[in-house]
Amino acid sequence: MTVPQAAPFQVQTPAQAEALLDFTYGARLLEKFAQPSTPSQAAHALAEPANRVAYHVRKLTECGLLCVAGQQGKRVLYQVVASTFHVPRALVRLDEPLTLIEPVMREITNAYAHAILEWQTRRDPHTPAGDSSQLTVHLGASEPDEARTEGSAGPHPPGMRIRTVHLTPDQYQQAQAALDHILTDLVTQDDASGAKKSTFIVMSFSGALHDT
């Protein structure tokens, strides 16, 4: 089974940067081609119209972010050219930052809200009042022993953790790398009993939530 090249892809043109940073049909779509796939398979995975996805697949291929990886019968298979992309700051057009960030945050917020609603309505058939799950709110730094003594939150509980700390540039980069390794090391368990699609999001930035 082929995999994207290990070396990062260096974005060189405005067209490549624009295509990659398109929230709906950029990196989000490219991720569906980590393994050779057809546009229709990607459309199904994203629940997007097939003709619209096919158009953007052609656009991503013309930009050099996707490549032809073979055929499946009469259907063309495509694959992303790399798993990591570097975009020069000069090509990141954020004159209106919300045009890029707002759609991402809106989808994250909606998905997280639906996860909480699903968790709220989850019921144990043997416990009419619910399954005794608890939603835990952490304030600041938590003691390690505290996390081990908390009540069960049930399977796949929603969670959010926000911390603001003072870090040196080296500490900041080390923290980013450590969080990235945690996500990279997660292995999907498609066939395991009780396995469920789960999303983990890591965000970091200089400053604090109330600095703006």
Q: Is residue 135 part of a domain?
A: yes
Q: Is residue 31 part of a domain?
A: yes
Q: Is the dihedral of CA 97, 100, 103, 105 positive or negative?
A: negative
The percent helix, strand, coil of the chain (3-state, each to 5) is 40, 10, 50
Give the per-residue pLDDT at 70. 94
Give the per-residue pLDDT at 98. 66
Give the per-residue pLDDT at 130. 47
The CATH number of the domain holding residue 74 is: 1.10.10.10
Query: Domain check: are 150 and 107 in the same one?
Result: yes
- Convert the pLDDT of each residue in 86-122 to its tens digit: 999 888 876 556 666 777 788 889 888 988 888 877 6
Q: Is the pLDDT of residue 42 over 60?
A: yes
Average pLDDT along the chain: 81
Q: Is residue 211 part of a domain?
A: no
Give the per-residue pLDDT at 107. 83
Give the per-residue pLDDT at 134. 63
Query: Domain check: are 68 and 110 in the same one?
Result: no
Run of H or E including 54: helix 50-63
| Residue where one domain finishes, among candidates 36, 67, 90 | 90
Query: Domain check: are 18 and 33 in the same one?
Result: yes
- Convert the pLDDT of each residue in 166-209 to its tens digit: 999 999 999 999 998 898 888 776 677 878 888 888 888 888 88
Give the per-residue pLDDT at 96. 59
Of all residues in the chain, the percent with pLDDT exceeding 90 is 36
Q: Is the pLDDT of residue 210 over 80?
A: no
Query: Domain check: are 13 and 66 in the same one?
Result: yes
Distance CA 78, CA 71 (A): 9
For the residues 49-72, what does the mean pLDDT come to?
95
- Convert the pLDDT of each residue in 4-27 to its tens digit: 566 889 999 999 998 998 877 898
- 137 or 115, greater pLDDT: 115
Number of domains in the chain: 2
Q: Is residue 199 part of a domain?
A: no
Q: Is residue 196 part of a domain?
A: no
Residue 60: pLDDT band (50, 70, 90) is very high
Give the per-residue pLDDT at 4. 56
Dihedral through CA 16, CA 23, CA 70, CA 183, nearest 10?
110
Q: Is residue 100 part of a domain?
A: yes
- Convert the pLDDT of each residue in 27-38 to its tens digit: 889 999 999 999
Strand bridging mode 75-80 / 66-72:
antiparallel
Q: Is residue 2 part of a domain?
A: no
Q: Is residue 194 part of a domain?
A: no
Give the domain extent around 144. 96-122+131-185
Query: Domain check: are 20 and 101 in the same one?
Result: no
Query: Domain check: are 74 and 58 in the same one?
Result: yes
